[in-house]
Chain A
Amino acid sequence: MAIDKFRHTISTAVPLPIENVDTDQIIPARFLKATTRDGFGENLFRDWRYDNSDQPIPDFVLNNSIYRGKILVGGKNFGCGSSREHAAWAVGDYGFKVVVSSFFADIFKNNALNNGILPITVSEDFLAQIFSEIEKDPDVKFEVNLESQTFKITSTAVETDFDINPYKKKCLLNGYDDIDYLLSISDKIETFETARAE
């Protein structure tokens, strides 16, 4: 039940310079009625993207064709709020492989990693540089190298390191998922349960 392997990514990015983007904005609750993981991208940022009559709101970045790519760049405290994994599914289903912010809410970060989406935390200054480069030229490309844990603005060649738990890095690069790992240690779980029962 592997996740997709994370590949070296060079892409343009979609800027969303808003702080505290919560999971109710990423995918509003009324779209959580599905029982599968598919199709949530259609309603990603639904209420910022479409008006009450389901017409696209032209000001919103996802409706502006000059912004596109596999990288979403959000403001501080991205993904706060509910634990709904549907938020990560929506981001992934829309086509994003990477989300960059200066700060992520814990649950969103875990959910993203469990779905092969890489959350990259950069400094506030670096985040400001990214936004400013995209503003200058929406076609600017960014290079994400998970092996070396670096994120590069190709136009300026300015690069930053990012942190990722070594276990999660291995999972993303190889497409492993946590359940495979946990199943591989069932004897340890068994031993723990037996010891506690005594």
Chain B
Amino acid sequence: MGKTLFDKIWDAHVIDEIEGGPSVLYIDKHLIHEVTSPQAFNGINKRGLKVRRPERTVATPDHNVPTIDQHLPIKDKLSKYQVDKLTENCEQHGVELYGLNHPYQGIVHVVGPQMGITQPGMTMVCGDSHTSTHGAFGTIAFGIGTSEVEMVLATQCILQPKPKKMRITVNGSLKNGVTSKDVILYIISEISASGATGFFVEYAGEVFRSMSMEARMTVCNMSIEMGARGGLIAPDQKTFDYVEGREYAPKGTDWDKSIAKWTKLNTDADAVFDEELKFDATDIEPMITYGTNPGMGVGITGSIPVVGDISSKEVPSFQKSLEYMGFKDGDVMIGKKVDYVFVGSCTNGRIEDLRSVADFVKGKKKADNITAWIVPGSKQVEKQAIKEGIVDVLEEAGFKMRQPGCSACLAMNDDKVPKGKYAVSTSNRNFEGRQGPGSRTLLASPLTAAAVAITGKIIDPRTILQN
């Protein structure tokens, strides 16, 4: 029997199997940030250990950094202490750090690919659930807890039970105005926020093949939102072209050797998955969420389900969610008033996302009732956006450009949506209070977010695209 892409990479990294227990998995690259690493460094320091392979770990502060005045000392004392602690730990253990104001700083999952750190066939981990992003390159990449961060620092290995395998195939062509974000929100709405728990997903089919690398990253990024351990896409020429020439990419004869290895990274025709799901691209509309988990999404021209259509066990959670959101079952989404638009995060904070927003809003003004924040995913993205004139276009339209970081995606810093306000966000989670206590989040694509910013309410972006 053939092997899946996942099996091939996994098996090549298993050092040992514990009887009846997890596998010992070797980790090629480890990304760390300021929030989930300090306790891990405390742990190895207490044990008197060194970082086993410092060259395999890269650090950048992102979750907790301010997105204005980054050249000044961080005002919030606790945040400053945490960011300083990362610097101190990296210096002590010889770990490469892209600190605040470093030209490579940014959200870890934007930094990895942009630096060429992320490469096909690798195992990658980070103390952040959106590590699944790197799966876009045909890597096994997943989020871990801080005890596991400590394991990787200490031993470059992790103990992991092997997940089951699922393949999600989407064939056909996407309709105009439908983006990679809509594809993944659609899949999650179909299978629910726990529909892939216990699985590692491979995305296959024409739709993912024709996506750019950045679009594939958006899809893999949100694998965790359906519970999956991670998601990956077999590498192809687009992947190789994206990696080639980047700082950490193999060079010269090493590049040729790498390509020879990477072209073998695919699922054998006779490989068997534990579960196979198939969707048709033409069924997918621009998506919007209405509830408090990413599985609660509908096509933007649709309406919130009615209680009668929900299974009785789920009704209390469904009603609690709608009450929080201030919506009623059966409500139509189009026309709902919005207060904030947030474009950014490891899901949609890359240059293509900013381009798509700028193309749409060029020559237009944001609606008066909207506060619009654009937060580039990294310093490199910010630099490119300035170079291409994107920043000028967005500022002329009334958007506020911020500096790189996770920002309002999780609202650890001051970028918070006020209580009761509605935000259309290009991020990944619409949990209660995710963007600030009492905030109400509706997840959407950058294109939809741009259309909402211009009109001040939920709108199908295609109605403006057509004009």
Contact = CB atoms under 8 A, between A and B. Distances in A.
Interface of A: 1, 17-20, 22, 24-25, 28-30, 32-37, 47, 52, 75-77, 80-86, 88, 103, 105-107, 110-111, 114-115, 124, 165-168, 177-179, 181-183, 185-186, 188-189, 192-193
B186 interface: no
Nearest to B313: A124
Q: Which of B22, B127, B144, B194 has the largest count of A CB atoms less than 10 A from its CB?
A: B194
A111 B16 CA distance: 21
B36 A83 contact: yes
B375 to A, nearest CB: 15
Interface stretch (B41-49, B177-185, B241-249): B41-49
Nearest to A24: B431
Contacts of B43: 1, 179
Contacts of B258: none
Nearest to B80: A33
Interface stretch (B99-107, B150-158, B207-215, B459-467): B150-158
Contacts of B21: 165-168
A165 B431 contact: no
Contact of B151 (A77, A124, A182, A192): A182
A114 B76 CA distance: 31
Interface string B171-213: 0000000000000000000000110011000000000000000
A107 B42 CA distance: 21
B371 interface: no
Interface string B344-361: 000000000000000000
Contacts of B42: 35-36
Nearest to B76: A33
Interface in B144-176: 144-148, 150-151, 154-157, 159, 161, 163
Contacts of B431: 22, 24-25, 81
Contacts of A88: 145
A1 B44 CA distance: 10
B144 to A, nearest CB: 6
Closest CB pairs A-B (n = 4): A167-B21, A85-B145, A35-B38, A83-B143
Given A18-B320, A165-B21, A182-B159, A83 B410 contact: no
B223 to A, nearest CB: 12
Contact of A189 (B19, B156, B412): B156
A193 B317 CA distance: 49
Interface stretch (B112-120, B231-239, B330-338, B433-441): B433-441
A76 B129 contact: no
B5 interface: no
Contacts of A115: 147
